[in-house]
Amino acid sequence: MVKVILYEQIDTLKEILDENLTIRICSKQANKFDSYNQFNLITFDWYEVEDKKSKPVQIAIYLSKEDLIFICEEEETQMKILKIVSKKASNEKLLYMFFSELLADDIMYLEELEEQITETEDELLQTTKTLYTNVIITYRRELLRLKRYYEQLNRIFDGLTDNESSIISTSDLHYFKILNNKIDRLLSHILNLRDYVSQLREAYQAQIDIEQNKLMKIFTVVSSIFMPLTLIVGWYGMNMRMPEYSWNYGYVFVITLCTVVTILCIRFFKNKKWL
C-alpha cells in the first residue's frame, strides 16, 4: 500500500502505526533515520533548493515490505509527492524515484551558484565596494542551508544502504547506493564551495586592506609635506621682533620659501615612488 497524507490525517493509520510511533512522528523530534525490525522511519526537512527563500517542509516516510507512507506538512508538498509515486512499482522503487526526483536538478543549481561566486570574485578584485560584504554573507548562509540539507540526506541514505532490517531487496539496494554516492558528491561540492567563499572573503579583505594602505600612504605624504610649512608658520608666528619684519621683501621671501619647500618635498616623494 502506498499513501501520501498530511500530519493531521495520521489518525487514519492506527492499524499500521502504533500509538508510540504516531506520537514520535507528530512530535517531529524523530531521528533522520530509524531502523526497526519490520520497518524504517525516515524524517527530513524538504527544501526547494532553487528557491533561496523557501521554508523547510518536514516529511516523514514509513517504509515496510508491505507499505510506503508519506506524511507531509502541507497540501502543496502532498500533491508533488503524489505525482512522483503515482506510478506502479515496488515500494523500494517508488522511494528511489521520489529521492531521485528530489535531487534531479540539484547539480545544475550548484553549478549556477559556483558561476555566480566566480563572477563575484572577478568583480571584487577589480573594485572594492561595501556591498560585497553582504553578498559574501549571503553566499555563506546559502551554502550553510544546503550543507545541512545534504547532511541529513546523507545520514538517511547511510541508513538505507546499511539495510539492517533487510526491508530493501538486494537488487533495489543498488539504486540507493547510487543515490548515496550522488549525495556524497553534492555534499563534497558544497564543502568545496564553502572553502571557495572563505578564500573569496579573504581576498576581498586583502583588497580592502590594500586600499586602506594606499589611503594611509596619501595621508602620510600630505602630512609630511605640510610639516616643514607648519615649522615655518610656527617660526614666524612667534611674538618676537625679527629682522625680516622690516625687510620690504620679507613677505615674498616667506611665500617663496614655502613654495620651494613644497615642490622639493613633492619631487622627493615622487622619486621614492610614494606618490
Which of 36, 70, 102 is where one domain is finished?
102
The 10s digit of each residue's pLDDT in 11-32 is 777 777 777 777 777 776 666 7
Q: Write the pLDDT tens digit of every residue in 109-154.
A: 888 888 888 888 777 777 655 567 788 888 888 888 888 888 888 8
| 203 located within any domain | no
How does the average pLDDT of the chain come out, rounded? 80
Residue numbers in the chain where pLDDT is lower than 50: none
Bridge partner residues of 61 (DSSP): 42, 70
Confirm whether 124 is domain-assigned: no
> Considering the domain boundaries, does residue 83 fall inside one?
yes
Count: domains in the chain: 2
pLDDT at 274: 67
End-of-domain residue from the set 58, 76, 102? 102
Which is it for strands 39-46 and 33-35: parallel, antiparallel or unpaired?
A: antiparallel
Q: Does some domain include residue 114?
A: no
Residue 42 lies in a domain: yes
Domain containing residue 237: CATH number: 1.20.58.340
Q: For residue 262, how many C-alpha atoms fall within 13 Å in the half-sphere facing its CB? A: 11
- The alpha carbon of 259 is separated from its chain's Cα centroid by a whole number of angstroms, namely 56
Angle between helices 106-126 and 131-162 (to 10 degrees): 150
Q: Range of 241's domain?
A: 216-271
Smallest CA-to-CA distance from 96 within 16, 207, 179 is with: 179
Residue 225 lies in a domain: yes
Which of 74, 102, 130 marks a domain boundary? 102
pLDDT of residue 128: 57
Q: Is residue 45 part of a domain?
A: yes
Is residue 209 a part of any domain in this protein?
no
